[in-house]
């Protein structure tokens, strides 16, 4: 595909300016590890929220969303529960505040808050570091494959996707490794502004070029309906047979069952709290627990609306004007390329360069956030803790440069051999997160759970996550196994199996060893104030401090999560119906958005300050 000269100029200018901005602010990050990894805990919640949203507005994920929207229509708003997207609601309602109260730098350092410093805690600390590296490399590979596919479609030098990915990674690494968190956040805010303008422009182009009746003739009946039954019931067979084949390959035909499994899996993963990646880093970078909660709420707003304006705009244009080309490609069509193909045909010169720059910005944001999340686990949790606890701040920062570079090299080596974006996503959301879930749910809500249980649960989970895809591939070769499986095996088989194995490891490790020391448990309970199965610890705290008030927010938090998920889905559906010009449905969706927003204002937002005052009093009683 040949870009206009003006598009190339815009893209090159963007890349150069991003590197210069990131490098220019990098001197502020070299003062200390706190500044390098968390920005000194001085950045406002709304800036961190935009930065977090920019990191999530990645190009690989956007390519997947466009492919899902094309195949599954408006019903595709439920498929991102694979990640699950509503984990941001759990963070908003209570988990961001719980995590930020720990006042630590990384998820591994948090282990000391919960399990102390004994042998079990040390093992838990080690396994979190291992998991952090594995998950960060997984996300790195996911981004690597997406940006390579995208760049090879547009950029004019006829290089391979992997070479393009390598070049763009090298450009981004210049300022990420040098500048740390501050460079990442500032450049991500700039990148997000570019993305937002470009996204609204694409949605407006789609509204101007495509009449609703024309679109309906190009897609199956029910394509524009967000609701679903037990079966998907989207018949592409006469329109684009390859799309019907793709639905069968994805295993989403029994859509009702599939979404039920996503909800079950998503609630467990969300209740575990954020994985040790850039999302957790943004929470820990906030000024205080209240701002951590507000930051997570802000992410839902600033990410969903512009991103889905772009997704539905590109999908509408492709479905209307590009269906014949896709049909002609037969079963060889790679639906992950719908996004770049649509951009090249329908977006005019000038705006195309701006939009490509924006999507490159999306990749760079995600990559920058991922790389910056990795070094703390090596420098703070291994080198500083076990090798050189009294090193100079400059020494730790220089070692962070080296750790970032190592992550980039390893990620490139693995990403080079990945076959598709979707394959990496399914492994992350089914296997890897299945291994993370059990230990990280129990750590919040069950007092008896100890460091040994955490370690063995994570070991069992990570090991089975790494081995399960290979094992299942061999089993699937057995004649007659599961017949022609009607649903996605990654969600319905791999995740439950990994979860069960991990739970066995958790219970065995916990029940065969002693509980953690009372002082550790009581300090954690006072500081974090979780609800859950903490009765024995509460009694001991009350014996020392009769005025201590336990957390009674469980039912209010659960209510807010239900309302919050409805709020999030309405935020996603609203731009879809606007671009589809289905204004009656858009009005209903807007009413739901406003209604749920009003409820959350009174049941969640108005209680944030009160909750932190009670927590501060509880913590003061411990001193």
> For 505-552, how does the pLDDT look when each residue is reduced to its tens digit (9 = 90+)?
999 999 999 999 999 999 999 999 999 999 999 999 999 999 888 999
Looking at the domain assignment, is residue 195 inside a domain? Answer: yes
Looking at the domain assignment, is residue 265 inside a domain? Answer: yes
Looking at the domain assignment, is residue 205 inside a domain? Answer: yes
DSSP secondary structure letters along 522-577: HHHHHHH---SB-HHHHHHHHHH-TT------HHHHHHHHHHHHHHHHHHHHHHHH
> For 313-341, how does the pLDDT look when each residue is reduced to its tens digit (9 = 90+)?
989 988 888 777 777 766 666 666 666 66
Q: Mean per-residue pLDDT for 339-357?
A: 72
Looking at the domain assignment, is residue 521 inside a domain? Answer: no
Residues facing 487 on adjacent strands: 252
Q: Which of 34-38, 278-282, 509-513 has the lowest mean pLDDT?
A: 34-38
pLDDT tops 60 at residue 1: no
Looking at the domain assignment, is residue 430 inside a domain? Answer: no
Residue 482 falls in which region: left (phi positive, over 0), alpha (psi -120 to 50) or beta: left
pLDDT band (50, 70, 90) for residue 478: very low
Q: Cα–Cα distance between 409 and 343 in angstroms, integer?
A: 31
pLDDT band (50, 70, 90) for residue 606: very high
Looking at the domain assignment, is residue 438 inside a domain? Answer: no
pLDDT tops 50 at residue 486: no
Q: Cα–Cα distance between 608 and 614 in angstroms, integer?
A: 10
Q: Which of 176-185, 257-266, 458-467 has the lowest mean pLDDT?
A: 176-185
pLDDT band (50, 70, 90) for residue 484: very low
Q: Cα–Cα distance between 60 and 440 in angstroms, integer?
A: 27
pLDDT band (50, 70, 90) for residue 5: confident
> For 54-103, how does the pLDDT look when each residue is reduced to its tens digit (9 = 90+)?
777 777 777 788 889 999 999 999 999 988 899 999 999 999 999 998 87
Looking at the domain assignment, is residue 333 inside a domain? Answer: yes
Helix (H, G, I), strand (E, B) or coil at 378: helix
**3-state SS string for 194-220:** HHHHHHHHHHHHHHHHCCHHHHHHHCC
Q: What are phi and psi of 374, to 5 degrees?
A: -80, -45
- CA 551, 552, 558, 561 dihedral sign is negative
Note the pTM of the prediction, 2 decimals: 0.84
Question: Which pLDDT score is estimated for 480?
Answer: 43
For residue 432, give every residue at least 6 positions away whose Cβ sits within 8 Å of its Cβ, in sequence order, or none. 134, 135, 138, 462, 465
248: Cα separation from own chain's centroid: 26
Which domain CATH number covers 271? 1.20.1730
How many folded domains does the chain comprise?
Answer: 1
Q: Mean per-residue pLDDT for 563-575?
A: 97
Q: Cα–Cα distance between 281 and 285 in angstroms, integer?
A: 6
The Cβ of residue 555 has, within 10 Å, a number of other Cβ atoms equal to 9
The residue that leads in pLDDT, 246 or 430, is 246
Residues facing 533 on adjacent strands: 446
Residue 303 belongs to what H/E stretch? Answer: helix 289-321
pLDDT band (50, 70, 90) for residue 181: low
- Domain residues for the domain of 303 are 5-418+551-620
Residue 616 falls in which region: left (phi positive, over 0), alpha (psi -120 to 50) or beta: alpha
The residue that leads in pLDDT, 491 or 464, is 464
Average pLDDT of the chain to the nearest whole number: 80
Q: What angle do CA 191, 192, 196 make, to 5 degrees?
A: 125
Question: Which pLDDT score is estimated for 481?
Answer: 41
Q: Cα–Cα distance between 279 and 373 in angstroms, integer?
A: 9
Looking at the domain assignment, is residue 236 inside a domain? Answer: yes
Tokens 């590979």 belong to which residue?
Answer: 141
């Amino acid at each position: 595909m040949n870009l206009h000269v003006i598009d190339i100029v815009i893209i090159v200018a963007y890349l150069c300016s991003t590197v210069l901005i990131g490098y220019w602010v990098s001197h502020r990050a070299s003062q200390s590890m706190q500044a390098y990894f968390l920005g000194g805990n001085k950045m406002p919640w709304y800036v961190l929220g935009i930065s977090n949203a920019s990191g999530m507005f990645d190009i690989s994920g956007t390519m997947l969303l466009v492919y899902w929207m094309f195949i599954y229509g408006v019903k595709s708003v439920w498929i991102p529960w694979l990640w699950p997207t509503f984990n941001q609601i759990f963070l908003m309602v209570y988990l961001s505040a719980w995590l930020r109260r720990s006042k630590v730098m990384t998820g591994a350092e948090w282990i000391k808050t919960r399990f102390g410093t004994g042998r079990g805690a040390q093992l838990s600390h080690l396994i979190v570091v291992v998991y952090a590296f594995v998950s960060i490399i997984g996300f790195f590979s996911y981004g690597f494959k997406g940006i390579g596919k995208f760049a090879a479609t547009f950029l004019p030098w006829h290089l391979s996707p992997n070479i393009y990915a390598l070049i763009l990674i090298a450009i981004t690494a210049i300022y990420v490794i040098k500048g740390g968190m501050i460079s990442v956040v500032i450049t991500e805010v700039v990148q997000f502004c570019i993305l937002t303008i470009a996204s609204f422009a694409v949605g407006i182009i789609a509204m101007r070029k495509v009449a609703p009746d024309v679109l309906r003739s190009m897609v199956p009946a029910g394509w524009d309906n967000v609701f679903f039954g037990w079966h998907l019931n989207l018949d592409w067979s006469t329109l684009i047979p390859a799309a019907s084949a793709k639905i069968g390959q994805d295993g989403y035909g029994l859509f009702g069952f599939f979404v039920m499994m996503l909800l079950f899996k998503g609630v467990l993963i969300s209740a575990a709290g954020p994985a040790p990646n850039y999302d957790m880093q943004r929470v820990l970078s906030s000024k205080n627990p209240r701002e951590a909660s507000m930051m997570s709420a802000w992410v839902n707003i600033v990410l969903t609306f512009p991103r889905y304006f772009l997704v539905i705009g590109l999908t509408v244009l492709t479905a209307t004007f590009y269906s014949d080309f896709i049909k002609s490609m037969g079963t060889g069509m790679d639906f992950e390329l719908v996004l770049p193909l649509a951009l090249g045909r329908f977006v005019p010169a000038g705006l195309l360069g701006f939009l490509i720059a924006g999507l490159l910005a999306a990749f760079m944001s995600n990559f920058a956030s991922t790389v910056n999340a990795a070094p703390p686990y090596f420098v703070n949790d291994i080198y500083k803790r076990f090798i050189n606890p009294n090193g100079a701040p400059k020494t730790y920062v220089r070692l962070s440069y080296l750790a970032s570079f190592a992550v980039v090299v390893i990620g490139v080596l693995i990403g080079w051999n990945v076959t598709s974006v979707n394959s990496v996503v399914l492994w992350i959301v089914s296997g890897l997160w299945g291994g993370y879930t059990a230990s990280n749910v129990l750590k919040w809500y069950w007092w008896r759970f100890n460091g040994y249980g955490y370690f063995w649960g994570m070991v069992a989970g990570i090991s089975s996550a790494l081995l399960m895809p290979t094992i299942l591939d061999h089993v699937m070769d057995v004649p007659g196994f599961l017949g022609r499986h009607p649903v996605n095996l990654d969600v319905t088989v791999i995740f439950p199996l990994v979860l069960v194995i991990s739970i066995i490891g958790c219970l065995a490790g916990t029940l065969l060893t002693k509980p953690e020391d009372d002082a550790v448990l009581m300090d954690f309970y006072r500081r974090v104030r979780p609800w859950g199965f903490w009765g024995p610890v509460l009694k001991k705290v009350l014996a020392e401090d009769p005025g201590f008030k336990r957390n009674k927010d469980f039912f209010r938090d659960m209510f807010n999560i239900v309302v919050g998920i409805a709020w999030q889905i309405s935020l996603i559906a609203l731009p879809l119906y606007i671009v589809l010009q289905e204004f009656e449905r858009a009005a209903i969706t807007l009413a739901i958005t406003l209604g749920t927003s009003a409820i959350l204002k009174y049941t969640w937002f108005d209680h944030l300050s009160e909750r932190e005052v009670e927590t501060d009093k509880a913590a003061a009683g411990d001193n």
